[in-house]
Amino acid sequence: MNASLGPQELAIRRKSGSRTAIAMMDDALIQELIQCGFRIEKLACTRGRSLRQLERDFHGQCGCCPREVIHETRMKRALDRLNSSARVKEIADELGYSDPAHFSRAFRQFFGSTPLQVRRKLLKKSPRNASMSPLGKKMSQNGK
């Protein structure tokens, strides 16, 4: 894991100019991606555009292809969900991955750490963890 960057900073790792692709998108588009199950073909169909037209739209608006935006959106949502009690399998399902191993591989390639490594780091930093008993801290570190 890149020790110099925390999980939130890692989420902003790929830049498109001075802003990330996600920062350039509006919340409505992100919600649309979630409703389409992060599938480009479904998004194009929902918008009444061909796949190629949608790609041109994305290049014009944020300077990257829709797959990059979808991947970055999934990783940002994964990072947010890891700060909850949801299991990695549940997060993988929510984000449209076929299995947890595929999700973990994509997450590790994006952030340089596995989802469980990032979760442990997030749990150590969380304010909830500060008020936990020693037994509660030990159980959360062991993933129980």
- Give pLDDT tens digits for 33-63: 888 888 889 989 998 999 999 999 888 888 8
Question: Within a domain: residue 16?
Answer: yes
Q: Which residue has the tokens 């969900």?
A: 81
* Mean residue pLDDT across the chain: 77
Question: Within a domain: residue 57?
Answer: yes
Q: What is the pLDDT of residue 102?
A: 96
> How would residue 25 be classed by pLDDT, with cut points 50, 70 and 90?
low
Count of the separate structural domains present in the chain: 1
Reported as a single tens digit per residue, the pLDDT across 58-97 is 888 888 888 888 898 899 999 999 999 899 999 999 999 9
CA distance 126 to 142: 16
Question: Within a domain: residue 85?
Answer: yes
Structure tokens at 99: 């299995």
The enclosing domain of 61 has a CATH number of: 1.10.10.60
Question: Does position 14 have pLDDT exceeding 50, yes or no?
Answer: no
Question: Within a domain: residue 1?
Answer: no
Question: Within a domain: residue 32?
Answer: yes
Domain of residue 109 covers: 7-141
Question: Within a domain: residue 2?
Answer: no
Model confidence, pTM = 0.66
CA distance 83 to 105: 19
